[in-house]
Amino acid sequence: MKNKTAKITIFCVCIILGFFFALQLKSVRINAKETSQPARIEELSQLLIEEKEKNEILNKQLEQYAQDVDKFRDQAQQSGGYASVLAEQLERADLLAGNTAVHGPGITVTLKDSVSVNTSGMDENAYVVHDSDLLRVINELRASGAEAISLNGERVLATSEIRCAGPTVSINNTRYAAPFVIKAIGDPDTMEQSLMMRSGIVSELENFQIEVTVVKSQDITVEASRQNLTFTYAVPVKEAEE
C-alpha cells in the first residue's frame, strides 16, 4: 500500500533528520569551543599588555619615591647628631645590601652560547648556557671573595634568582638572553685563578664549547639593585630583654 511505504519512509527520514540535526548541533558547539582558543590567546595577550603598562606607571612612582627618600636622607645627614649617625648606618647597610652602585678592582666574565655545529649528536641543550652554569661561576666568584656581583646589569642579591626561562635566563624577574656578562668586584687575581683552575668551571664549560672570556680590570662598576625589597615573611628576632 502506498500509504504504508509512505509512513515507513517518513519514519526513517525522521530518524535520519533527528540524527543529523543533533550531530550538527553537537559539532557546532564543540567546534565553537575549539575556535574560541585563539580568541582566548588574544584576550590574554591584551591583559598582559595592560599589566605591563601598569607596571611602567608603578615603576615611575617608585623612582619618584626613591628620590624623595634620598632627599630625606640628605637632610638627616646635614642636620647632625643622632640623625646623621643613623644616616651613616643606613648608607652602610645599603652598600652591603646591594642598593648602591659600587666600583673597584674586579673581573668581568662573559659567557656565550656555543656557535659550533652539533656534530657529536649530543643533546642540543648541552651547548647552550644554562642557569646552572651561571650559578656555578657566581659561586666560584663568591668563594674567592667577590663583594659585589652583577649579571647583565642586574645586581645579584641574596634573594636574586637565576633561572632558565625557555631560551632565556630570568634574574630579578627580568629575562636576558646570551651573551651573559658577569661583573664582580674583589681581588682580580684570586678570582681569575679560581675560575681558570684546571678542571675548574671554565674548562668544564669550554668542553661544551661555550665561549668563556675572563678579563681582569682595575676599576669596574657594579650596578645598584633596582628592586625594592621588603620582607613579607621574615621578621627580625628581637633579643629577649632581661
- Interface with other proteins in residues 141-200 (CB under 8 A): none
Nearer to other proteins, 9 or 139 (CB): 9
Whether 182 contacts 134, CB under 8 Å: yes
From the CB of 52, what's the least distance to other proteins, in Å? Answer: 34
Which residues lie below 8 Å from residue 78, measured CB to CB, with a gap of 6+?
A: 84
Beta-carbon count within 10 A of 57 CB? 9
Q: Is position 36 an interface residue for other proteins (rule: CB under 8 A)? A: no
> Given its phi and psi angles, is residue 44 left (phi above 0), alpha (psi -120 to 50 degrees) or beta?
alpha
Nearer to other proteins, 35 or 232 (CB): 35
Nearer to other proteins, 18 or 145 (CB): 18
C-alpha cell at 4: 504504508
Identify the burial level of 163 via C-beta atoms within 10 angstroms of its C-beta, where 0-12 means exposed, 13-18 middle and 19 or more buried. middle
From the CB of 2, what's the least distance to other proteins, in Å? Answer: 6
From the CB of 3, what's the least distance to other proteins, in Å? Answer: 6
Burial state string for 7-31 with b = 16 or more CB within 10 A and e = fewer than 16: eeeeeeeeeeeeeeeeeeeeeeeee
Whether 149 contacts 223, CB under 8 Å: no
Nearer to other proteins, 24 or 75 (CB): 24
From the CB of 23, what's the least distance to other proteins, in Å? Answer: 4
Which residues lie below 8 Å from residue 87, measured CB to CB, with a gap of 6+?
A: 73, 76, 77
From the CB of 41, what's the least distance to other proteins, in Å? Answer: 18
Nearer to other proteins, 29 or 198 (CB): 29
From the CB of 40, what's the least distance to other proteins, in Å? Answer: 17
Interface stretch with other proteins, choices 30-38, 92-100, 151-159, 221-229 (CB under 8 A): 30-38
- Interface with other proteins in residues 5-24 (CB under 8 A): 5-7, 9-24
Diameter of the chain by CA atoms?
A: 118
Q: Is position 54 an interface residue for other proteins (rule: CB under 8 A)? A: no
Binding site for other proteins (CB under 8 A): 2-3, 5-7, 9-28, 30-31, 34-35
